[in-house]
Structure 1
Amino acid sequence: MQLLKFSALCLLTLAEFGTAGRVPYWAQQHLKGEPVAAVKAHGPYTPKHKDKYDHKIDAEGDGLDPLPYRNGEGATVQGPWNRARSRQNPDLVRPPSTDHGTLSNMRWSFADSHIRIEEGGWTRQTTIRELPTSVEIAGVNMRLDQGVIRELHWHIQAEWAYVLEGKVRITALDTEGGNFVDDLEKGDLWYFPPGHPHSLQGLAPNGTEFLLIFDDGHFSEDSTFILTDWLAHTPKSVLSENFRISPEVFETIPKSEKYIFQGSLPGPIDKERTPLDDTKGIKKSKLQFTHRLMQQEPLNTTGGQVRIADSKTTFPLSKTIAAAHLLLQPGAMREMHWHPQADEWSFFIRGRARVTIFASEGNARTFDYGPGDVGIVPKNMGHFIENLSDDEEVEILEIFRSDEFLDFSLFQWMASTPKRMVAEHLFQGDEERQRRFLGELEKGVEEIGAHDPIRGVPKNGYGDDTTEEEL
C-alpha cells in the first residue's frame, strides 16, 4: 500500500518536475509527504541533498545546473561558469565520493575538434593531439555531400569505418591487382589494410557521414598519400614516361591536392565496370572489404543488444580493428568489466552515459558522455557504462586495436568463483549480506546465465529482496 501511495505521488508531480514520464531518483528520496517546492529545495546540487550511494543524475535530460555540492559539503561558484558544459559533465562538477586520485582525462568531444571545410564536405579528427590518452586509435568524422569525392589515396595505417548516415560508394585495390567496389548504408563497415589505395563518394540525396578509425593514435588525416598531391610533385617528364603520353597532357592537372571535391554522380556498380575488364587484366578482388554490421543477428541481453565485428567472427579482413555496437535501453548499464588485450576507444552516437574508470592503486574517475563524444578506457582498467536517462536509449561503438573482441565480466567472475571465496572477500562476518549477495548471483545465473553484458533495470529497481525502506 505504501508503495502504491508513493507511485501515485510520483505521477502527480510529473508535470511539476517537467520530466518525461518519471520522477528523477534524487526527487524520489524526498517525495514522501513533502510538497514539490520542498523537494526541489533538496535538489541534487544543493547543500541539503544527501546520497551516500552516488546514484546517477541526468543533469542534461532534467535541465539541472550542476554545482560542486556533495552530501552537505562544497560551495557555489562565484566566478565565470560555463553552464552548458557543466550540464554535459555533471560528474566532473560533482564527482562521486568514490572517485579518487589523478587519473588522466579520458573524454573528448568532436564538437571541440577543428573542422577542415572543403567543397561539399568537411572533416574533423580526434587523435593523441586532441586526447593524449588516445594512444592506440585515432578517429576521423567526415561528411561528403551527394556526388562529393574523398579522392583516391592511401594510408600508412589501416582504416576501419562505420557509416553514420546516408549512402557511400567505396573503391579499393588489393595487392594482387583486384578491384573492389561497393555501396554502403547506415550501420555498414569497411576496412582497408595499410597501404591499400581507395576512394569514397557520397551517394544519397544528402550524401553521407561516417566515422573513420585508424590503428594508431598519432595518425593525422592531413598526412595521407593523395593521388593529385603526388602527381603535382612529380616532374611531368616522368608522368609522360610512366603513362606513355605526351607531357603537355599534364599541364592542366591540379597544382595541389584536391582532397574533397564535387564529382559527378556514378552509375550502378555493374554499369561502371564493363564486361571487358576481366579480359583486359582488370579483375575483381577476392577480398571482402565491407561488412553489414547491423544485419547481424544481435546478442539480446536483459538491457539491450550487442553486435560484435572482428576478424575471428564476422569480418575476417579486419585484422587490426575489433568493435562492438551496443544499444543500452533506458536505465540500463554495460556491466562492470575490463578488456585484457587493448584500450577501449568508444564513440557515443545517441543518448547520455556515465562511466567510472578504475585504474588500480586507489585511482578512479567518472566521466559523462553524449552524442559525438569519444571515451578512452586503457586496457585492463575496470569500468561500466550507465545510461543516464530513464527515457532514451544509448547507442555506442566500442572499438579496439585488436583482431578479436575480448572482455572479462565482473559478474561472471564472481559467479564462477567458489562462493566461500567470494563471501570471505566481501562480507566476512556478515552472514545476512553474504546470503543476499550470493543469492542474487545464483538467481542471475539461473535466469540469464553468468554473462549479461548489458544489464536491464530489475522490476523493483534492485532485483533482490531489498525493502521499500531500504530503497
Structure 2
Amino acid sequence: MNRFIPLAVFILSAIDAVTAAPAAASSNPLRGGPRLIGYSPTNTVPVDNTETISFQYAPGQTANPDIGLYLDFEKVENPQPIRGDTGGTDPGPRNLNYDKINPDKLAPPGTDTGVATINAQWPLGLSSVTLGKERSGWSREENTNVMPAATKMAGVNMRLEAAGYRELHWHVAAEWAIVLNGSCRIQAVNDEGETFVDDVGEGDVWFFPPGIPHSIQALQNGVEFMLVFDQGSFSETNTFLASEVFAHNPKEVLSKDLGIDISALQNIPEHKLFIFPGTPAPTDIQEQNKTGSAGNIPKNMSYSYHFSEQPPQLLEGGTVKIIDPLSFPIASDFSVAVVTINPGAMREIHWHPSSDEWTFFIQGQGRATLFTPPSEATTFDYMAGDIAYFPQSNSHYIENTGDEVLIVLEVLQADHYSDMSLAQWIGLTPKQIVQDTLNLSNETLSKITTEKKIVVG
C-alpha cells in the first residue's frame, strides 16, 4: 500500500463535505484554525505502515552493489531503489514507467557517485514536435535548451512525407546528416555558383557547410533523417528560409534584384513554409541538374556520401563503420562511427582525446557510465530515440542491455575519428607499472588485449 492513498481519500472526503453543505461554507474556511500549528494534545497523527510494501527483486539486485549488474525492471512488480545492502523502499508517489526504463537511476551501481556528472541523456520523445503543413512531415530537436552541457553539437530529427519539402534555406552552423529510413533528393548551390543534386537513401550521409543554401525533398516512400549541427545552441527555428527572405524584403527591391516585374511577386508566401507538401520530384534526376557557367560541384567536394554502400568491419561483438574528412573531405571536423553491438556485448570503455561525443541511439537499448574526474560517475539507461553526450576525454562505454542488436551513431568534432581504449592502454603499459598501481596479477595481465577491440563480445 502507498501512504499517499489515505491522504487522497482524506482530501476527497473534505471536498465532498464542502460540496454537500454549501450553506456552511462560512463556518468551513479554506484555511485551518490556529490549533493546527505545532503541538496540540487534540491533534491526531495518521498512521500508515510504510514497511509493508509489496515488491519484487530483479535478478542480480541483491548482489554486491559494486558488481553493478544490469537490472531488468520491465517485468518486476513495483521495483525499488535497492542494490545489495544499500538503499531502501519507496512508498510513493512515483512514476513506475520511468523507474522501469531507468533502472540505473532508480538503483544505481555501487560505483556511481550520484548526480555529480552532467546530464548525459535526452530522450527525443520529450522534445516538442513542430508539425509541417498539410501532413507533410515534422521536426524535433535537441540543443542546450534541454541538454545544457552539450555545447559543441545539437541534433534535429526530421520526417518528410512523400514529396514533402524542407524548404530552401541556409544557416550559420554546419549540417551533417544521416538518412534513417526512406530516401530523399538533396540540392544545393555553393558560393562559386557550382550546383549539386543527388538522391540518398537509408544509411547515406550528406553535409552542407555554413551559409550554403540547400533544400531536401522526400521521394515517393518518404524519408526520416537525423541532422547534427556543430553548435550546441543551434535551433531549426533560426534558419534563413527562402519564404522569409522574400517576405521581409520590399517588393520593389526584390523586383530590381531579380530582374522581374513587381506583379510577379503578388503570390509569394506571407509566412514561412518550413515543411510543406510539393510536386513529386521527377524520376530522372538529370531534369533537376541545373548548372550555370561554373558547372557542378567537383566530385571530391561533393555534399553527399553513399555510406550505405561501405561494408562494415566485423568485430568480436558487432560491427563498425567510420566516415570522417579522410573519406568525406567536405565534411570538415565531422568524424562519425556507426557501431552495432550484439546482445550482451559492449562498446569498450574508451574516451576521445580531441572531441566531445554526441551519440544517437538508432535501435535497441543500452546503458553507459560516464566518469568525470576526480571521482564522479553516473550510469544512464538509453533507448532508441535517445541522445547521449560525453565530454572530451571523459571515459564511457555502451553496453547492450536488450535482446536485439543495438545500433548507435557516434559523432565527433574532429578532423579524423579516434578514441583511446582502456583495455589497450592497460595491455600496452609495462606489467610492473600496472601491478604496482592496480594490484593485478601477472596471470590477469596476460589476458588483457594489446589490440583495440572497439566492441567486446
TM-score by length of 1: 0.81
Which residue of 178, 181, 187 corresponds with 2:203?
A: 187
Tell me the alpha carbon deviations over residues 375-395 of structure 1, each in whole angstroms, 9 at most, x when there is no partner: 010001011111112x31110
Match of 1:283, SS state, is: coil
Q: Residue type of the partner of 2:424?
A: Q
CA distance in 2, matches of 1:363, 1:70: 19
**Selected match of 1:349 from 339, 362, 379:** 362
Of 432, 437, 442, 1:435 maps to 442
Within a 5 Å distance, the mapping from 1:75-86 to structure 2 comes to 75-86=88-99
The answer to whether structure 1 residue 451 and structure 2 residue 452 are counterparts is yes
* Map of 2:348 onto structure 1: 335
Residue from 410, 413, 427 that aligns with 1:415: 427
* Contact map agreement 1:70 1:94 (CA 8 A) in 2: yes
Structure-1 residue corresponding to 2:318: 304
Residue 210 of structure 1 pairs with residue 225 of structure 2 = yes
- 8 A Cα contact 1:188 1:293, kept in partner: yes
Q: CA offset at residue 51 of structure 1? A: 5.1
Task: Please state how far the C-alpha of 1:282 moved relative to its aligned partner.
Answer: 6.2
Match of 2:40 in 1: none
AA matched with 1:434: S
| Contact residue 56 and residue 79 of structure 2 kept, 8 A | no
Hey, what does 1:326 align to over in structure 2? 339
Shift in Å, 1:272: 1.6
1:150 to 153, 158, 166: 166
Which letter does structure 2 place at the counterpart of 1:92?
A: K
1:270 positional shift? 3.9
Tell me which amino acid in the other structure corresponds to 2:390.
Answer: V
Deviation (angstroms), 1:45: 8.3
| 1:133 matches 2:149 | yes
Q: In 2, Cα distance between the equivalents of 1:292 and 1:144?
A: 20
Output one character per residue of 1:166-225: Cα deviation in whole Å (capped at 9) or x when no partner: 0111001122111111111110000001111100011132x1000011000011100100
Residue 158 of structure 1 contacts residue 320 of structure 1 at CA under 8 Å; is this kept in 2?
A: no
Over the aligned positions, Cα root-mean-square deviation in angstroms equals 1.8
Separation in 2, partners of 1:266, 1:220: 28
Q: Could you tell me which of 315, 329, 343 is aligned with 1:316?
A: 329
For 1:285, give the aligned amino acid: I
Distance of aligned partners of 1:43 and 1:251 in 2 relative to their CA distance in 1, 3 Å threshold: closer
CA distance in 1 between counterparts of 2:307 and 2:144 reads 27
Structure 1: state its 5+ residue gaps: 1-39, 428-432, 457-471
Identical aligned residues as a percent: 38
Match of 2:401 among 388, 406, 419: 388
User: Would you say the 8 A contact 2:358–2:411 is kept in 1?
Assistant: yes
Corresponding residue to 1:371 among 348, 360, 384: 384
Give yes or no for contact 1:294–1:307 (8 Å, CA) kept in 2: no
> Are 2:295 and 1:294 equivalent residues in the alignment?
no
Per-residue deviation at 1:271?
Answer: 3.9
1:118 aligned residue: 132
> Residue 231 of structure 1 is aligned with which of 221, 246, 249?
246
TM-score (norm 2): 0.84
- Paired residue total: 398
Deviations, residues 418-446 of structure 1 (Å, cap 9, x unaligned): 1111111111xxxxx503311212xx44x
The 1:210–1:170 alpha-carbon spacing in structure 2 relative to 1, beyond 3 Å, is same
Tell which structure's C-alpha radius of gyration is larger.
2
Residue type of the alignment partner of 2:138: W
Structure 2 unpaired stretches of 5+? 1-54
1:104 deviates by 2.0
